[in-house]
């Protein structure tokens, strides 16, 4: 959860210090190793482990005042005013009444304190909510419900499906075979795909036998709490034997149990010791350029103030020497002033007090108010409200508004951001036959429109009424009983991870983790292959009205590396079948040589699909020999149980069975563009904002979308594709692109080259102007080479000259790397916009992260700085709110410094007439309230309402 | 009830001018002619006002006579504090070539006297001056108490350093008849000073009211004997005292001393002729290289003889015009270029 963060500029320093100090402190008296015994609270309390209470709040009732004041006085301006206050208490140099500084200081401090208090109250509430959640604990052979906060190290707890994990626990046993447990780690690392954890066999035998569980007295020796999410080493000593433990056995707090009815775990780390909490401290604060500028300005003002006081002190010394000495008849020197030099030193401090109005005490508060106001405008904007979802735009941080007006590069995800991410099964190719085009009576191809007649699915009672399809030939093929078509749809209805819900008889609702899968299963459902329900061992499919139960033998799950998933089932006819669907690039290498001809035809169709911007998948099957499968199954379970290098072994096993596949066909799913995307891109382009699309999709699809939404235009002067598979070719491709765009930039005499060679630690690459409009397309694997050291520079120079850049086949990490790269080399403000968990890294890396609350969950939104529902709101965010915020902030700063200087310099000039005696021109109350009351409103008014 | 639940459901932001940033706003559409005419108009206005102010200030008749050098022997005498009780007078004859019409005011002017020093300004007791607490001399250092410890009334450096020269203007009708010009010593203070900020302590008579206090060290008479002719003009309510207590902002300042009582010969003002100032020289200024002068002046609607305001207006107007002309020149040049460019 993010809260309004006041005074962001100082906080990073403060808090990093704070947390460093904390962790240092902990480490010093902290444990080297952790010892614990299950079900033995007495033993475990000896080590004084914390209980499972978490505390994200910083204050309580008693320490709020001192702690908050201490934190506030770490800020430069506040500390300065505190020093001033002490100076004023010295009568010899006090030149202003004490209240002139006390009142503004009190007001500013109390505003901030109130804000902090409100924030902290929210945290308290949140903490209380979390701490009071209930969980089931195994106690003396019975299951007892207890609050989260009462969980101790060494307790054994029971978790159910979809429950969040209470603490970092060692998995003991679960309902699944081999004690596998599926978890979702979205809250920890943002990945939504399920991960598998597995208990060691000796504990998985405990199963859900409460007596055994409460008699379990294994001792665990493990490392002390740390923040490494993917590392854990420990030893379990049970029945005199040692078992090694690694992070595969550990369920971390923050994960959610999925697809597992129950599991038992031994609590290892609790509360503040959990890896989740250990990772919490260093939340990165995004600082704006403006914050940096403010701090620099304040430092300069201090210097200026010092020099002014110095000049005045010298003037005073001279004056006292020349005039004051002889004026003593009327005004004798004080006894403690033996000479004019001493007097000058005192006057230095007196002026230091008088000129205090130059240091803008209310600056930070005012900046906060303005930012808050401008954030509210974003929240209030009706033009950024998306009615179908009832969701207004949301400024989740209040500190980045003015940065919005300076954005130079926009990094956008494709799916769900540029497109709606509502997947519709649109076309398919089955056994070399193309389905999905609509022809009229004359045999001419027609565009699908509102009037086009939809296919009638009334023969199928379980059909989804929202699904629409226009090509009748496919339905006819299904009705005719075409074997290949049937097999094709059967594979679609079997090979997936979708869950079904049937609350009312006949009304199926599919819960799909990825919308693609949902679209495919829905398509199969409408054509008569209805996926009805699944258990852990079976899948029930209604095939043309006839329910068949397939025995589920194995799921070879999807991963970003494999890019395919397979399922092995035993059909009711007792055949063992493997169905596989996956990316065409991968799958076509695994096909049986006999379907080469079919492959070529299908590939042609796939190209056609891609040209239309459709997302494609290939579907294949393989009939397995029973004995072969038995042998494989053994290897598979061995690999499942292996402790070391399991993932590698598993993928090897998978590869053994996923080969010699028979091609069935390919699917094409349409992902429509969101409203107003091309217009927005054009407008942003006009505003000199460059648009990069970073997507995990394949090149053809990405390029098509890019054309569709005007990132690439037909009349562009050239298009470069970088798809080299090694350093040299990538370099070659980048260079030749640059050669075409700006030939002189390759010469050594080019000013940029000279600049770069003269400054090896170069700060930023200057802007280079190409001789036309170009586009660049770069492939994920080429990007991996390009992102390496010496090629980065080439990549940035080439890519930044292009009008649009498409990076396809990207991993989430690469997205972040690209953003980081542009940030580093160009020193401009970047914005990343995305909707899925795979965009989180990029959203966090960019100066400004924008989350689209779309189909793919809340991950992106929760990590973003701004969130809304439609891509085209970006235009309004940047060009209206951003521009206004930036303009207002600039005007505000100028105005603010102007008014303070105008006010303070009067005293400087008056010194020359008043014998440099620190006499003020204005009444003290006027000085007190000048910044706080008299002038704050016009300044704020200007900066909130100026247009 | 139904209505409220509907509002809760919809998160559509309110359509108010504030929230939608549609408050009426006006943006200046700056055009070259608009800006230039604005500049010229402002410049003309400033120049006009400035010239009027200067002329009006020039119309004032003013005579200033510095008498520190003229009364050099007195000045020398006063340099040594031992001679404080020796009286020294000094007569300064001058010829008024033109009649000073209307109200004429007599000022004394000090050069290089810093009434604006921080410690000097602080050195007074307002509670004492307003008559509530005569013993309150808290801020008056270094002139808060006399040697024997009695509080000084009025205390402080300001009161102590009061201007104590006596200036008498006499009109020399001819070589034998010397007539003292009638002067009013009332009505020379701010109303608030005379009636709010300065009050005498309440008692049957002033001398008893000030018992238990000492006179400031540089004063020759106690505060209740400042004006022997007019008993009302005594104590803290003495006009000269009040005028002095209102400290000047700059080291060179003039303070109102007397105003002409327009009777007899002087009904029209001061007629031309021979005059002389008879000055009892008490106030030492040579120690700190200061100077004293006496000023006779009339007033107009725009105030005194100061040229500052008029000059400020004139200079501002001139600068504005200068800017306007240069902008016009640039504008014309660019316009020419642009038309050339378009023609091409």
Q: Is A377 close to B10, i.e. CB distance below 8 A?
A: no
Range in A209-213, A571-575, A906-910 with the lowest mean pLDDT: A209-213
Domain count, chain B: 1
**Could you tell me the pLDDT band of residue B23, with boundaries at 50, 70 and 90?**
confident
| DSSP 8-class letter at A930 | I
Instruction: Evaluate if residue A193 carries a pLDDT over 60.
Output: no
**Any A CB within 8 A of B21 CB:** yes
pLDDT at B247: 92
Kindly write down the DSSP assignment for every residue of A725-783, as one continuous string: SSHHHHHHHHHHHHHHH-GGGGSTT-HHHHHHHH-TT---PPP---SS-EEEEEEHHHH
**Mean pLDDT of all residues in A322-343:** 85
What whole-number distance in Å separates Cα of residue A105 and Cα of residue A85? 9
B182 assigned to some structural domain: yes
Chain A residues whose beta carbon lies within 8 Å of the beta carbon of residue B20: 380-382
B327 assigned to some structural domain: no
- Select from B11, B81, B117 the Cβ nearest to the Cβ of A914: B117
**Any B CB within 8 A of A382 CB:** yes
- The per-residue pLDDT for range A266-282, each reduced to its tens digit, is 999 888 888 877 765 44
A375: closest chain B residue by CA:
B19
pLDDT at A702: 81
Q: Is A917 close to B250, i.e. CB distance below 8 A?
A: no
**Mean pLDDT of all residues in A888-893:** 88
* Interface test mutation site (partner B, options A329, A394, A881, A945, max chain B beta carbons within 10 A): A329
**Mean pLDDT of all residues in A923-947:** 82
pLDDT at A9: 32
**Mean pLDDT of all residues in A885-890:** 89
Range in A17-21, A240-244, A651-655, A775-779 with the lowest mean pLDDT: A17-21
Question: Tokens standing for A726?
Answer: 């090694």
- Select from B12, B251, B287 the Cβ nearest to the Cβ of A326: B287
- The per-residue pLDDT for range A357-402, each reduced to its tens digit, is 887 777 877 888 888 888 888 888 888 888 888 888 888 877 788 8
**Mean pLDDT of all residues in A294-301:** 85
Q: Which long-range contacts (CB under 8 A, 24 or more apart) does A32-36 make?
A: A32/A224, A33/A221, A33/A222, A33/A223, A33/A224, A34/A153, A34/A220, A34/A221, A34/A222, A34/A223, A34/A224, A34/A225, A34/A234, A34/A268, A34/A269, A35/A219, A35/A220, A35/A221, A36/A153, A36/A154, A36/A219, A36/A220, A36/A268
- The per-residue pLDDT for range B73-125, each reduced to its tens digit, is 888 888 887 887 788 899 999 999 989 988 999 999 999 999 999 889 989 99
Q: Is B12 close to A390, i.e. CB distance below 8 A?
A: yes
pLDDT at B5: 41
What whole-number distance in Å separates Cα of residue A846 and Cα of residue A835? 14
CB A144 within 8 A of CB A39: no
Is the model more confident about A445 or about A103? Answer: A103
B187 assigned to some structural domain: yes
Q: Helices A76-88 and A99-131: crossing angle, nearest 10°?
A: 140
What whole-number distance in Å separates Cα of residue A910 and Cα of residue A777? 66
What's the domain range around B282? 62-305
pLDDT at A189: 58
Phi, psi dihedral angles at A179 (to 5 degrees): 55, 40
- The per-residue pLDDT for range A697-720, each reduced to its tens digit, is 777 778 878 888 888 887 778 888
Characterise B21 by phi-psi region: left (phi > 0), alpha (psi -120 to 50), beta (else).
left
Chain B residues whose beta carbon lies within 8 Å of the beta carbon of residue A884: 21
**Could you tell me the pLDDT band of residue B323, with boundaries at 50, 70 and 90?**
very high
**Could you say which of A273, A413, A584, A865 is catalytic?**
A413
pLDDT at A706: 84
Instruction: Evaluate if residue A6 carries a pLDDT over 60.
Output: no
pLDDT at B248: 92
Percent pLDDT > 90 in chain A is 7
What whole-number distance in Å separates Cα of residue A685 and Cα of residue B63? 75
CB A154 within 8 A of CB A137: no
Question: Tokens standing for A911?
Answer: 């010194």
- Measured distance between the N- and C-terminal CA atoms of chain B, rounded to whole angstroms: 72
Chain A residues whose beta carbon lies within 8 Å of the beta carbon of residue B25: 945-947
B75 assigned to some structural domain: yes
Percent pLDDT > 70 in chain A is 91
Q: Is A332 close to B142, i.e. CB distance below 8 A?
A: yes
Q: Cα distance from B66 to chain A (closest Cα, Å)?
A: 20
Q: Cα distance from A517 to chain B (closest Cα, Å)?
A: 32
- Residue B206, H or E segment: helix B206-209
B319 assigned to some structural domain: no
Measured CA to CA in angstroms, residue A355 lies from A32, A82, A174, A304 at distances of: 55, 15, 71, 11
**Could you tell me the pLDDT band of residue A643, with boundaries at 50, 70 and 90?**
low
- The per-residue pLDDT for range A816-869, each reduced to its tens digit, is 888 888 888 888 899 999 887 678 788 888 889 898 876 666 667 777 889 888
**Any A CB within 8 A of B25 CB:** yes
pLDDT at A761: 60
pLDDT at B246: 92
Q: Is A915 close to B116, i.e. CB distance below 8 A?
A: yes
Q: Residues A556-568, buried b or exposed e (16+ Cβ, 10 A)?
A: bbbeeebbbbbbb
Range in A132-136, A715-719, A923-927, B236-240 with the lowest mean pLDDT: A715-719
**Average pLDDT, rounded, for chain A:** 82
B316 assigned to some structural domain: no
B144 assigned to some structural domain: yes
Q: Is B157 close to A331, i.e. CB distance below 8 A?
A: yes
- Residue A413 among the catalytic residues: yes
Chain B residues whose beta carbon lies within 8 Å of the beta carbon of residue A921: 249
Q: Cα distance from B161 to chain A (closest Cα, Å)?
A: 6
Among A681, A717, A682, A696, residue whose Cα is nearest residue A806: A696
Chain B residues whose beta carbon lies within 8 Å of the beta carbon of residue A376: 19
Q: Cα distance from B245 to chain A (closest Cα, Å)?
A: 14
pLDDT at A789: 64
Q: Cα distance from B145 to chain A (closest Cα, Å)?
A: 15
- Select from B20, B116, B123 the Cβ nearest to the Cβ of A914: B116
B290 assigned to some structural domain: yes
Question: What's the order of all strands across the beta sheet hosting A546-556?
Answer: A433-435, A419-430, A662-673, A615-624, A576-582, A564-570, A546-556, A538-543, A529-534
**Could you tell me the pLDDT band of residue B245, with boundaries at 50, 70 and 90?**
very high
């Amino acid at each position: 959860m993010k809260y309004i963060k006041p005074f962001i500029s100082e906080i990073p320093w403060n808090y990093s210090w704070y947390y460093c100090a904390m962790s240092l402190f902990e480490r010093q008296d902290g444990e080297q190793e952790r010892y614990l015994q299950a079900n033995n609270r007495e033993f475990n309390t000896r080590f004084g482990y914390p209980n499972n209470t978490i505390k994200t709040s910083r204050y309580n009732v008693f320490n709020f005042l001192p702690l908050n004041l201490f934190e506030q006085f770490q800020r430069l301006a506040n500390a300065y005013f505190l020093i001033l206050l002490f100076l004023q208490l010295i009568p010899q140099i006090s030149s202003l009444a004490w209240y002139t500084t006390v009142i503004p200081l009190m007001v500013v401090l109390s505003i901030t304190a109130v804000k902090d208090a409100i924030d902290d109250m929210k945290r308290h509430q949140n903490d209380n909510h979390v701490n009071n959640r209930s969980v089931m604990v195994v106690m003396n052979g019975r299951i007892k419900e207890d609050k989260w906060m009462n969980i101790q190290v060494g307790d054994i707890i029971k978790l159910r499906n979809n429950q969040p994990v209470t603490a970092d626990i060692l998995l003991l046993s679960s309902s699944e075979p081999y004690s596998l447990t599926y978890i979702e780690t979205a809250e920890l690392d943002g990945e939504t795909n399920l991960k598998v954890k597995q208990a060691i066999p000796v504990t998985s035998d405990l199963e859900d036998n409460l007596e055994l569980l409460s008699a379990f007295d294994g001792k665990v020796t493990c490392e002390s709490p740390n923040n490494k999410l993917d590392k854990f080493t420990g030893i379990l000593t049970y029945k005199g034997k040692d078992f090694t433990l690694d992070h595969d056995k550990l369920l971390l707090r923050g994960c959610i149990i999925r697809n597992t009815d129950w599991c038992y775990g031994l609590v290892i780390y609790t509360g503040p010791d959990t890896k989740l909490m250990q990772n919490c401290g260093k939340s990165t604060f995004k600082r704006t350029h403006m914050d940096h500028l403010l701090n620099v300005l304040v430092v300069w003002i201090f210097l200026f103030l010092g020099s002014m006081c110095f000049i005045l002190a010298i003037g005073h010394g001279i004056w006292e020497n020349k005039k004051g000495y002889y004026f003593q008849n009327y005004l004798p020197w004080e006894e403690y002033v033996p000479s004019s030099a001493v007097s000058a030193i005192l006057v230095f401090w007196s002026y230091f007090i008088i000129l205090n109005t130059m240091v803008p005490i209310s600056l930070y508060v005012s900046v906060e108010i303005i930012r808050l106001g401008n954030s509210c405008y974003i929240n209030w904007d009706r033009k950024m409200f998306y009615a179908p979802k009832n969701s207004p735009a949301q400024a989740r941080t209040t500190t980045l508004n003015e940065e919005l007006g300076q954005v130079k590069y926009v990094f956008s995800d494709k799916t769900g951001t540029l497109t709606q991410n509502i997947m519709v099964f649109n076309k398919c190719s089955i056994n070399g036959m193309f389905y999905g085009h609509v022809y009229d009576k004359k045999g001419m191809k027609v565009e699908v429109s509102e009037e086009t007649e939809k296919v009638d699915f009334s023969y199928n009672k379980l059909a989804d009424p929202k699904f629409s399809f226009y090509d009748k030939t496919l339905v006819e093929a299904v009705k005719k009983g075409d074997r290949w078509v049937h097999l094709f749809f059967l594979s679609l209805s079997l090979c997936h991870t979708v869950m079904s819900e049937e609350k009312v008889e006949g009304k199926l609702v599919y819960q799909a983790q990825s919308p693609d899968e949902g679209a495919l299963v829905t398509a199969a459902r409408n054509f008569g292959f209805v996926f009805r329900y699944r258990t852990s061992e079976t899948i029930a499919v209604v095939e043309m009205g006839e329910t068949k139960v397939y025995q589920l033998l194995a799921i070879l799950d999807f991963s970003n590396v494999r890019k395919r998933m397979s399922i092995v089932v035993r059909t009711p006819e007792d055949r063992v079948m493997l169905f596989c669907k996956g990316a065409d690039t991968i799958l076509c290498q695994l096909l049986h040589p006999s379907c080469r001809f079919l492959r070529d035809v299908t590939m042609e169709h796939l190209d056609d699909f891609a040209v239309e911007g459709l997302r494609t998948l290939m579907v294949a099957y393989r009939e397995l020999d029973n004995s072969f499968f038995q042998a494989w199954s053994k290897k598979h379970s061995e690999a499942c149980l292996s402790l070391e290098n399991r993932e590698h072994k598993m993928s090897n096993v998978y590869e053994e069975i996923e080969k010699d596949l028979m091609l069935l066909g390919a699917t094409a799913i349409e992902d429509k563009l969101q409203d107003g995307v091309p217009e927005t891109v054009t407008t942003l382009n006009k505003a000199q904002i460059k648009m990069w699309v970073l997507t995990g999709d394949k090149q053809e699809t990405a390029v098509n979308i890019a054309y569709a939404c005007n990132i690439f235009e037909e009349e562009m002067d050239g298009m470069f594709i970088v798809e080299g598979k090694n350093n040299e070719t990538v370099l070659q491709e980048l260079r030749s692109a640059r050669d075409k765009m700006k030939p002189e930039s390759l010469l050594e005499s080019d000013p940029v080259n000279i600049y770069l060679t003269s400054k090896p630690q170069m700060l930023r690459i200057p802007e280079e102007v190409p001789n036309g409009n170009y586009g660049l397309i770069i492939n994920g694997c080429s990007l991996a080479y390009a992102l390496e050291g010496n090629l980065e520079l080439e990549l940035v120079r080439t890519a930044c000259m292009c009008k649009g850049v498409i990076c396809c086949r990207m991993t989430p990490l690469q997205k972040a790397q690209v953003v980081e790269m542009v940030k580093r080399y160009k020193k401009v403000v970047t914005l990343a916009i995305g909707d899925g968990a795979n965009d989180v890294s990029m959203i966090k890396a960019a100066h400004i992260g924008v989350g689209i609350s779309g189909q793919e969950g809340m991950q992106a939104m929760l990590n973003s700085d701004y969130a809304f529902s439609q891509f085209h709101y970006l235009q309004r965010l940047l060009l209206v709110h951003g521009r206004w915020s930036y303009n207002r902030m600039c005007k505000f700063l100028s105005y603010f410094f102007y008014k303070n200087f105008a006010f303070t310099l009067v005293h400087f000039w008056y010194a020359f007439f008043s014998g440099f005696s620190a006499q003020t021109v204005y009444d003290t109350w006027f000085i007190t309230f000048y910044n706080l009351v008299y002038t704050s409103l016009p300044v704020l008014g200007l900066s909130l309402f100026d247009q | 009830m139904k209505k409220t639940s509907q509002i809760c459901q919809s998160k559509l932001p309110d359509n108010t001018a504030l929230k939608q940033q549609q408050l009426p706003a006006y943006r200046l559409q700056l055009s070259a002619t608009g800006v230039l005419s604005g500049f010229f108009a402002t410049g003309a206005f400033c120049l006009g006002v400035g010239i009027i102010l200067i002329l009006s200030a020039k119309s004032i008749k003013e005579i200033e006579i510095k008498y520190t050098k003229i009364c050099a022997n007195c000045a020398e005498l006063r340099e040594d504090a031992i001679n404080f009780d020796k009286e020294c007078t000094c007569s300064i004859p001058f010829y008024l070539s033109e009649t000073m019409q209307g109200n004429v005011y007599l000022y004394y002017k000090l050069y290089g006297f810093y009434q604006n020093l921080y410690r000097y300004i602080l050195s007074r007791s307002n509670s004492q001056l307003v008559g509530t607490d005569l013993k309150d001399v808290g801020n008056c250092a270094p002139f808060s108490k006399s040697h024997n410890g009695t509080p000084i009334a009025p205390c402080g450096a300001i009161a102590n350093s009061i201007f104590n020269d006596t200036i008498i203007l006499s009109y020399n009708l001819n070589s034998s008849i010397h007539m003292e010009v009638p002067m009013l010593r009332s009505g020379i203070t701010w109303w608030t000073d005379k009636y709010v900020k300065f009050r005498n302590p309440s008692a049957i008579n002033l001398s008893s009211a000030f018992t238990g206090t000492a006179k400031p060290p540089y004063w020759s008479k106690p505060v209740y004997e400042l004006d022997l002719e007019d008993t009302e003009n005594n104590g803290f309510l003495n006009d000269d005292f009040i005028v002095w207590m209102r400290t000047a902002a700059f080291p060179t300042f003039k303070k109102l001393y007397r105003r002409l009582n327009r009777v007899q010969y002087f009904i029209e003002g001061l007629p031309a002729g021979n005059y002389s100032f008879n000055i009892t020289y008490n106030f030492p200024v040579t120690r700190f290289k200061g100077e004293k002068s006496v000023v006779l002046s009339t007033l107009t609607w725009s105030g005194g003889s100061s040229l500052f305001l008029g000059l400020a207006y004139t200079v501002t107007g001139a600068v504005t015009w200068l800017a306007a002309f240069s902008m016009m020149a640039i504008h014309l040049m660019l316009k020419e270029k642009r038309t050339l460019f378009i023609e091409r």
